Amino acid sequence: MLINLKDLGKRYNYEWIFRNLTYTFESGTSYAILGHNGSGKSTLLTIIAGHNLASEGKLDYTFAGKPVVADEVYRHLSLTAPYLEVVEEFTLLEMLDFHTRFKPLRQNLSTSGLIDRMGLQRSKNKFVKDFSSGMKQRLKLGLAIYSSSSMLLLDEPTTNLDQEGVAWYQEHVTQNKEGRLIIVGSNIQHEYSFCDQQLRISDYHVLPRK
C-alpha cells in the first residue's frame, strides 16, 4: 500500500487542526505520528482510514501498483483506537468468528491460534462485556495486528494496558510488521519505538492570527 497526501488540511468550524500536509506513506515502513493530546494525530489517522473527510487537499491510495478508490480502502486496513468498540454481547469465540467473516487472519492463523497468541485461552467462552479494560484492548490489538491487511493503523495502542500488556504489544506488532504499512498515532515512546519514520503533526499547525 502506498498513500500520498497532497496539501491535506482539516478544520473544525474556523479552526484549522493542520494544513498543507504533503507526505508519502510506503508499504514495508512503520511511521509514528507524534504530537501532544489534541494535536490532530487521531484526526489524521481517521482521515487516512476513510472514517473522516479532509477539508482540503488530496489523498491517493495505491495497492500493487494500481489505484484504490476511497470506498475500497477499508478492505486493505485494520484500525484500532480507544474510541472504537468491540461487540460486548459476544463471547470471545463469537467475536472472533464474526470478525473473521469480514477480515481473515494472517498466515492462515486459526481463531484458536489467535486466542493463544492473545493469552486469552481461559476467556474464550466469556462475554466481552465481562472483560477488563486491558483484556478488551488486547482483543482489539490482536484483531488488528493479526488481520490479513496490508495497512495497520494504531491510535494510542497501549491505552489500558499494564506493563505485561505493553510488552505483549511490542512483541506482536514487531513480529507482524514485515511487508506492511504501519502508522502509529502516539505521544508515548514505547508505543512507536519500532517505527522507522516520524511525522510531527505540529509541523503542520496553523498559527492563529494576531
Residue 206 pLDDT level (bands cut at 50, 70, 90)? confident
Yes or no: say if 90 and 127 are a contact pair by the CB < 8 Å rule. Answer: yes
Q: Where are the domains of the chain?
A: 2-204
Residue 171 pLDDT level (bands cut at 50, 70, 90)? very high
Q: What share of the chain is helix, strand, coil (3-state, %, to 5)?
A: 35, 30, 35
Mean pLDDT on 178-205: 96
Residue 207 pLDDT level (bands cut at 50, 70, 90)? low
From the list 65, 111, 64, 117, the residue with the least C-alpha distance to 92 is 111
User: Quick one: what percent of the chain has pLDDT higher than 70?
Assistant: 98
- Cα separation, 43 vs 60, whole angstroms: 17
87 residue type, one letter = V
Residue 33 grid coordinates: 505520528
Which tens digit of pLDDT belongs to each residue from 42-100?
999 999 999 999 999 999 999 989 999 988 999 999 999 988 999 999 999 999 999 99
Is pLDDT at 113 greater than 80 in this prediction? Answer: yes
pLDDT given at position 208: 55
Torsion of CA 174, 179, 183, 186, to 10 degrees: 10
Torsion of CA 182, 187, 193, 198, to 10 degrees: 60
* Secondary structure letter of residue 52 according to DSSP: S
Is pLDDT at 210 greater than 50 in this prediction? Answer: no
Domain 2-204, CATH class in plain words: alpha beta
In three-state secondary structure terms, 163 is helix
In three-state secondary structure terms, 171 is helix
Give the strand pairing for 2-12 and 56-63: antiparallel
- Cα separation, 21 vs 150, whole angstroms: 23
User: Quick one: what percent of the chain has pLDDT higher than 90?
Assistant: 90
Average pLDDT of the chain?
A: 94
What is the residue-wise DSSP string for 91-130?
A: BHHHHHHHHHHHSPBGGG--HHHHHHHHT-GGGTTSBGGG
